[in-house]
Amino acid sequence: MTYTLYDKLMNAHIVREDDTGTLIYIDRQLIHEVTSPQAFEGLQMAGRKPWRLKANLAVPDHNVPTTERLSGVSGIKDPISKLQIETLDKNCDTFGIDEITMNDIRQGIVHVVGPEQGATLPGMSIVCGDSHTSTHGALGALAFGIGTSEVEHVLATGCLWQSKSKNLNIEITGTLNQYVSAKDIALYVIGKIGTAGGTGFAIEFTGNTIQNLSIEGRMTLCNMAIEAGARVGMVAVDDKTIDYVKGRPMAPTGKEWDKAVEYWKTLHSDKGAFFDKTIRFDAANIKPQVTWGTSPEMVVAIDECVPNPKNAKSDVQKTSWENALSYTHLKADIKITDIKIDKVFIGSCTNARIEDLRIAAKVAKGKRIADNIKLALVVPGSGLIKQQAEKEGLDKIFIEAGFEWREAGCSMCLAMNADKLEVGERCASTSNRNFEGRQGQGSFTHLVSPAIATASAIAGHFSEIK
């Protein structure tokens, strides 16, 4: 028989299967401070211990400040943020779970740290109490987000009940245009299939365009699969995957490495494997993307205009567009490049890796942000990425251009730490969500790539690279 990558990964982890669902074994659980407190409390109340300690790795990220880190947790000003990180530290100490603490050089965003440390490996089943766990599928893993009660369940049993997804093949072929990135691919696809286009599916991204992406680019793409409604996003294992994993701190070595590689090379969809649905795109048609509304599917190319509700395909879409325009204070038919911005954020689990920072620095080099930009942040995805960027002199380029160079963390992706937008502020953001209030109450978020975010900071409005 022939199998898809998703089917292979599911079948390899089945513990039990019946009419109610499929019980699968979980190889790795990544933990952060927001969705874990109640899970640990549940364990304590039931008198249980984690099933397999080494299956878990904890990293604080959502509430971690990106400035004034020298004083550690005690220096966090927001009492809720401070409590959540203190609670994670305490729980990990109590239960004996490995944690990369706030001031560890390896600390960063959990979906950046996992692959960086080799905690994410091909063929693994990986969960985290965070929807963007789909990121790890870029390495040929079965990775998905779970809720707090499921975090507790995985801690206690090492297993989780799941319903099987259907298979969706998104095939992209051809050569990308200059400055078109994996982020643009993701937004373009979501714009075409909608935020419900992947509902009920596991997406495998295929085609020579995907094969030509770096592993970091693939992570960006799989990170956004959840925004298309899919449970997981995946890319088959190839030589790039194996080269990326080799030598990581938690990767296997010696004979175990050889055995692992032999298995990993089977992690691709078989020729002739059945997909419930296949959607094909030509990479040549993809331009830099900018979201204009309150959903990732409300997106157009940067050289286009804000859509007019009169042209909506249905009454539901018309109402949705009208509501989005009302919230974002935009008018239909205006050019995207005429939209002025107040702040710029380069970071998040979508776009805070060294490749993202390099392209942003390339665009920023020798230039200066516009006078109307109140704040432009560059937030590395981990302390090690920050260290590498500084070794390459990227920090100096950003600082000379007027950007603030920060410590690692989730930062302005979501309004859960000190980095947030004020009411009425408009942001060009490399993050993954743009619903109402995502980056701060009454704020407006436009999702873009690192290159477009940087060019827009320099222009003071949305701009192509010049």
Rounded Cα distance, 219 and 217, in Å? 5
Question: Any residues with CB less than 8 A from the CB of 372 and at least 6 apart, and which?
Answer: 340, 341, 342, 460
Model pLDDT for residues 398-430, shown as the tens digit of each residue: 999 999 999 999 999 998 988 999 999 999 999
Average pLDDT of the chain to the nearest whole number: 97
Identify the pLDDT of residue 13. 98
Model pLDDT for residues 281-291, shown as the tens digit of each residue: 999 999 999 99
Q: Is the pLDDT of residue 352 over 80?
A: yes
Confidence class for position 74, pLDDT limits 50, 70, 90: confident
Top CATH class, 1-286:
alpha beta
Identify the pLDDT of residue 270. 98
Q: Is the pLDDT of residue 72 over 90?
A: no
CATH fold of the domain at 289-459: Aconitase; domain 3 (3.30.499)
**What token pair was written down for 323?**
């509501």
Containing 18, the helix (H) or strand (E) segment is: strand 14-18
Question: Any residues with CB less than 8 A from the CB of 393 and at least 6 apart, and which?
Answer: none
Q: Is 386:357 a contact under the CB 8 Å cutoff? A: no
Q: Is the pLDDT of residue 20 over 90?
A: no
Model pLDDT for residues 375-388, shown as the tens digit of each residue: 999 999 999 999 99
CA distances 228 to 132, 197, 200, 422, Å, are 12, 6, 11, 28
Rounded Cα distance, 217 and 215, in Å? 5
CA distances 258 to 238, 246, 248, Å, are 15, 11, 15
**What token pair was written down for 393?**
């002199």
Identify the pLDDT of residue 253. 98
CA atoms within 13 A of residue 187's CA, in its CB half-sphere: 31
DSSP state of 335: B
Angle between helices 394-401 and 383-391 (to 10 degrees): 90
Which residue intervals of the chain bear CATH 3.30.499.10?
1-286, 289-459
Model pLDDT for residues 200-249, shown as the tens digit of each residue: 999 999 999 999 999 999 999 999 999 999 999 999 999 999 999 999 99
As a whole-number percent, the residues of the chain with pLDDT over 70 amount to: 100
Identify the pLDDT of residue 441. 95
Q: What is the pTM of this model?
A: 0.97
Coil, helix or strand for 251? coil
Model pLDDT for residues 105-138, shown as the tens digit of each residue: 999 999 999 999 999 999 999 999 999 999 999 9
Rounded Cα distance, 72 and 76, in Å? 7
Rounded Cα distance, 128 and 412, in Å? 20
Spatial CA neighbour of 227 closest among 294, 284, 318: 294
Count of positions (residues) in the chain: 466
Please measure the distance between the N-terminal and C-terminal CA atoms of the chain and give it in whole angstroms. 52
pLDDT, mean of residues 457-461 = 98
Confidence class for position 466, pLDDT limits 50, 70, 90: confident
Which residue ranges are tagged as binding site? 349, 410, 413
CB burial class (10 A; 0-12, 13-18, 19+) of residue 9? buried
Which residue ranges are tagged as binding site for [4Fe-4S] cluster? 349, 410, 413
Coil, helix or strand for 239? helix
Question: Could you give the residue ranges of the DSSP H alpha helices within 2-74?
Answer: 5-13, 37-46
Model pLDDT for residues 25-55, shown as the tens digit of each residue: 999 999 999 999 999 999 999 999 999 999 9
Model pLDDT for residues 92-109, shown as the tens digit of each residue: 999 999 999 999 999 999
